[in-house]
Amino acid sequence: MKIKAYELKDFVDKKKCAGYLIYGQNKGLVREKSQIIINTYKDENTEIIKFENDELIQEPGKLINEFNTFSLTAEKKILHILNTKDNLTEIILETLKDVDSNNIIIFETGELTPRSKLRKSCEKESNIGVLACYFDTERDIQDLVNEAFKKENIKISRDIILHISKHLGNERHIIKNEIEKIILFLKDKKEYDEKYILKCLSQNEDFGFEDLNYSICNGNMIKLDRTINQLYLEGINPIALLRSVGKHFQKILFVNEKIDLGMNINESLSQLKPPIFFLYIDQFKKHVKNWKTTLCYKAIERIMETEEICKMNSKISKIVCWRTLRNIASIKYN
């Protein structure tokens, strides 16, 4: 049975399910939701037992035995199964077929496609709660940043919240770790400038799409390679990288076309929606100066061609995208 994130605690409180399948790309969020189940269900008389998927495959009767037997040291058990795979599906269904137990099971795993046997089977079962954990949206991240700073009574502007959010990526455990670093950096400072926060962000080397866009237009190959590598490690699709860079060049093109019509650069920039973040204004003006209209068209055309190639052959999409972005960044301009 599919459940929503906001329903999870209530489901556990009311013991609506005997088992929970928590899956998704966002490993940090998967871990967080699993911990919510554990914290909600456990008390001083609870034993927590962890198993790996392959361990249970090697001993098929182990899961059902542990689920249906009493603990020698506690009144109830939480069985936490890590890296759950499709090959455990039959054992899961057999274990939770006739539920008469005070114990619960958490099945934790990564991304599952709609065709996954494990996902499809668990979604059909009324006593198994299935929760998908996707990457955090920009709004989710903004809320996390805002709440964390409010809790510590640290006042920051909306612009800085937006900037931090864009810089943190979309993996929950990375986001939380970096927010904690920033708060720790500022906590003992009676007075601080917003530049302190930006300095902290630049030290943590968690690159986002803005780093990608600006490193390309600045011709910074070292930072570009590190940024692409990190975005790939976070599971970001090559097409998302190409579209981000494409949008950046479209902004540069928009301003240049206004300038070509006789408007000055500041007037042109004022017409961009959304506006360029104020800390990036000087860099963006350099991009407008260096990447003239014709060059922008060529870069955008190259990006669109690469996107088509990536769509046709996903196996080589990462390397094709990487080569294109490096080629664009290496263009010599006057």
Q: What are 18-30's pLDDT values in tens digits?
A: 999 999 988 889 9
Strands 46-52 and 104-108: unpaired
- Could you tell me what percent of the chain has a pLDDT over 70? 92
138-204 adopts what CATH topology? Helicase, Ruva Protein; domain 3 (1.10.8)
* 131 has a pLDDT exceeding 60: yes
Instruction: Give φ, ψ of 184 to 5 degrees.
Output: -60, -35
Q: Which two tokens stand for residue 37?
A: 């189940």
CB atoms within 10 A of CB 51: 19
The mean predicted confidence, pLDDT, of the chain is 88
CATH match for 209-329 among 1.10.10.10, 1.20.272.10, 3.40.50.20, 3.40.50.280: 1.20.272.10
Phi-psi region of 55 (alpha: psi -120 to 50; beta: other; left: phi over 0): alpha
151 pLDDT band, cuts 50/70/90, is: confident
State the Cα–Cα distance between residues 40 and 50, nearest whole angstrom. Answer: 17
Strands (E), the chain: 19-23, 46-52, 76-82, 104-108, 128-132
Distance CA 308, CA 311 (A): 5
Residue 188 has pLDDT above 70, yes or no: no
Q: Is 246:303 a contact under the CB 8 Å cutoff?
A: yes
Question: What distance in Å separates the CA atoms of residue 179 and residue 166, rounded to the nearest whole number?
Answer: 12
pLDDT surpasses 60 at 203: no
Task: Give per-residue pLDDT as tens, 42-63.
Answer: 999 999 999 999 999 999 999 9
The pLDDT of 233-256, averaged and rounded, is 92
Rounded mean pLDDT, 200-216: 73
**Residue 85 backbone dihedrals phi, psi, to 5 degrees:** -120, 170
Whether the predicted pLDDT of 255 surpasses 70 = yes
169 sits in the region (left: phi over 0; alpha: psi -120 to 50; else beta) called: left
Encode pLDDT of 276-333 as tens digits.
877 788 889 999 999 999 999 999 999 999 999 999 988 899 999 999 999 999 885 5
Inform me whether the pLDDT recorded for 200 exceeds 70: no
pLDDT given at position 204 = 47
pLDDT for the residue numbered 100: 79
190 touches 264 (CB < 8 A) = no
Domain(s) of CATH 1.20.272.10: residues in the chain: 209-329
Burial-class residue 116 by CB neighbours within 10 Å (0-12, 13-18, 19+). Answer: middle
CB-based contact 48:78 (threshold 8 Å) = yes
Please report the pLDDT score of residue 158 as a whole number. 81
Distance CA 251, CA 257 (A): 10
- Please check the confidence at residue 213 and state whether its pLDDT lies above 60: yes
Burial environment of residue 16 by CB neighbours within 10 A (0 to 12, 13 to 18, 19 or more): middle
Report, as an integer, the average pLDDT of 125-146. 87
Task: Tell me the one-letter amino acid at 287.
Answer: H
Where residue 201 falls among pLDDT bands split at 50, 70, 90? low
Q: Give the span between the Cα atoms of 286 and 292, in whole angstroms.
A: 11
Asked whether 131 and 22 are in contact (CB, 8 A), the reply is: yes
Q: What are 183's two structure tokens? A: 């708060």
CB 230 within 8 A of CB 223: no
Q: What is the pLDDT of residue 79?
A: 96
| DSSP conformation letters of 152-174 | TT----HHHHHHHHHHS-S-HHH
Q: Please report the pLDDT score of residue 334 as a whole number.
A: 42
Q: What is the DSSP string of 14-35?
A: TT--SEEEEE-S-HHHHHHHHH
What's the pLDDT at 323? 95
Give the predicted TM-score (pTM) of the model: 0.55
From 17-31, 231-245, 269-283, the region with the lowest mean pLDDT = 269-283
User: Would you say residue 202 has pLDDT above 60?
Assistant: no
Give which of 271, 226, 227 is closest to 245, Cα–Cα.
227
Q: What is the H or E stretch that residue 326 is in? A: helix 317-329
Q: Which CATH superfamily is domain 5-132 in?
A: P-loop containing nucleotide triphosphate hydrolases (3.40.50.300)
Which regions of the chain carry the CATH code 1.10.8? 138-204
Of the candidates 244, 276, 241, 269, which has an alpha carbon nearest to the alpha carbon of residue 255? 269
